[in-house]
């Protein structure tokens, strides 16, 4: 009998690790090729890991809630055939010594308590990961004087601390904010106490809700959010869709919603205003080559996920509709792959789905903008014609644009959302799909 090592597969360009959430097979059970062995979760999506071979599971090397790196062996499967042993390799003494030092360092890092839940301070996921890798304890991390908003520890802060470890100034663990001049004592920020009575029910957030919570707080603390709003007349789009949706579904086998039409306009506007298709990394601006549109989607359990339409500017309306429907359907069914949520450069969220007229969405880091689509409503409006003005019933909606004022000023943020509106209002009612 031969032994096969089941490894955690590569799940996307920027996905380096995953958390084991459930083993679907036990030691001693038979597994078929392509049959799911376990369930894992990344910081974006949940997925299954299938077996590459048919055999019997003889060892399970990790437990539920363990974090596993891509490429690590997670289980041993016994398969038919003979094991092939590799010839022995002579290992130089210097290599043995280097490995011993690495193991000793790893032991010291593992011994460092890194339960960030015990800390009252907020630390971004990136800072936490660096702290774990460098063996910085929670207590030690709390002493770092952060340069971020409200004393938040940034990536540069912890890297500088690690570089000059042992020579850093110590500050109090609590965040201290400068008091007004009229007051001499400093004001310490503390979380407001929450009272619970006998009729209240306490429910712990699920894993995804905790992640979303962390991302939202981190985004607000990172970006200077500002909003621009514009009302758009989408009567032509409404009429065109009503006229063509049945023929579209018959020919393409896809439902035609408003979303791909809006996504098409956003992609065009991003091409016109590349300053919105950027990311921020510290003091550097990254100009994105591709236009990858994130599409916020609500899950059946109430959580939110943002699958990404890659190279959205290269898709026609049919291609956009297929991409929107595919990602939306797989999001609802929990079938998204980790790579489906990676690489977004700008995000669109449809708050109108739930009846909201407009909203003030939070930026999806490290992007610098997000557009909220409001509900389409029939409203009385002034219509200008060569014969004069008159009142008519029109289909209108609001576009709400949140952008990062650190790098996007009102002129760019406002011009961008105006261009999206212009594309929507100029929609050709005679166009083919």
Task: For residue 159, give the nearest of 131, 187, 137 by alpha carbon.
Answer: 131
Long-range pairs of 200-208 with CB within 8 A, sequence gap ≥ 24: 206/301, 206/303, 207/19, 207/21, 207/41, 208/41, 208/46, 208/303, 208/305
Q: Which residues contact 38 (CB under 8 A, 6 or more apart)?
A: 20, 22, 23, 24, 25, 48, 49, 74, 75
Catalytic annotation, residues: 405, 409
CA distance 257 to 270: 21
Tokens in use for 11? 């799940």
| Local structure of 337: helix, strand or coil | coil
Cα radius of gyration rounded to whole Å, the chain: 27
Other beta carbons within 10 angstroms of residue 48's beta carbon come to: 14
Distance of CA 310 to the CA centre of its chain: 15
Q: Which run of H or E residues covers position 418?
A: helix 410-425
Q: Of how many residues is the chain composed?
A: 433
Residues near 428 by beta carbon (within 8 Å), at least 6 away in sequence: 236
Backbone angles phi, psi at 242, to 5 degrees: -60, -35
Contacts of 109 (CB under 8 A, 6+ apart): 132, 133, 134, 135
Alpha-carbon distance of 313 to 271, in angstroms, equals 8
CA-wise closest residue to 119 among 138, 91, 98, 96: 138
Alpha helices in 21-82 (DSSP H): none
Q: How far apart are CA 194 and CA 304, in angstroms?
A: 26
304, 297 contact by CB (below 8 A): yes
Indicate the pairing of strand 346-349 with strand 293-295: parallel
Scan for tokens 């979380």, then name that residue.
191
């Amino acid at each position: 009998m031969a032994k096969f090592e089941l490894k955690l597969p590569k799940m996307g360009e920027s996905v380096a690790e995953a958390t084991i959430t459930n083993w679907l097979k036990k030691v001693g059970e038979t597994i078929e090729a392509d049959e799911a062995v376990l369930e894992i979760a990344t910081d974006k999506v949940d997925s299954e890991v299938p077996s590459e071979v048919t055999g019997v599971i003889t060892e399970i090397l990790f437990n539920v809630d363990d974090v596993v790196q891509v490429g690590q062996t997670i289980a041993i499967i016994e398969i038919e055939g003979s094991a092939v042993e590799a010839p022995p390799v002579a290992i130089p003494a210097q290599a043995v010594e280097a490995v011993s030092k690495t193991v000793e360092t790893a032991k010291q890092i593992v011994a460092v308590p890194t339960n960030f839940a015990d800390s009252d301070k907020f630390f971004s996921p990136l800072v936490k990961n660096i702290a774990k890798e460098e063996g910085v304890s929670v207590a030690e991390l709390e002493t770092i004087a952060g340069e971020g908003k409200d004393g938040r520890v940034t990536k540069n802060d912890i890297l500088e601390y690690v570089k000059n470890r042992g020579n850093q100034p110590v500050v109090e663990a609590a965040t201290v904010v400068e008091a007004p001049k009229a007051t001499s004592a400093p004001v310490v920020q503390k979380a407001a106490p929450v009272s619970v009575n006998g009729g209240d029910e306490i429910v712990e957030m699920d894993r995804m809700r905790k992640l979303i919570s962390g991302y939202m707080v981190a985004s607000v603390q990172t970006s200077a959010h500002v909003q621009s709003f514009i009302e758009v007349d989408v009567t032509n789009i409404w009429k065109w869709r009503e006229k063509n949706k049945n023929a579209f579904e018959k020919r393409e086998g896809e439902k035609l919603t408003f979303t791909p039409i809006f996504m098409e306009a956003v992609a065009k506007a991003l091409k016109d205003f590349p300053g919105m298709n950027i990311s921020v990394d510290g003091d550097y601006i990254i100009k994105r080559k591709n236009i990858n549109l994130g599409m916020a989607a609500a899950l059946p359990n109430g959580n939110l996920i943002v699958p990404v339409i890659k190279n959205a500017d290269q898709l026609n309306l049919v291609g956009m509709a297929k991409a929107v429907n595919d990602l939306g359907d797989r999001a609802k069914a929990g079938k998204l792959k980790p790579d489906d949520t990676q690489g977004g450069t700008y995000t669109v969220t449809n708050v109108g789905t739930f009846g909201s007229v407009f909203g003030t969405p939070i930026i999806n880091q490290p992007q610098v903008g997000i557009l909220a689509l409001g509900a389409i409503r029939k409203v009385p409006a002034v219509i200008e014609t060569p014969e004069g003005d008159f009142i008519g019933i029109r289909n209108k909606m609001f576009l709400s644009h949140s952008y990062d004022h650190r790098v996007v000023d009102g002129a760019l943020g406002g011009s961008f959302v105006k261009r999206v509106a212009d594309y929507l209002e100029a929609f050709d009612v005679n166009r083919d799909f």
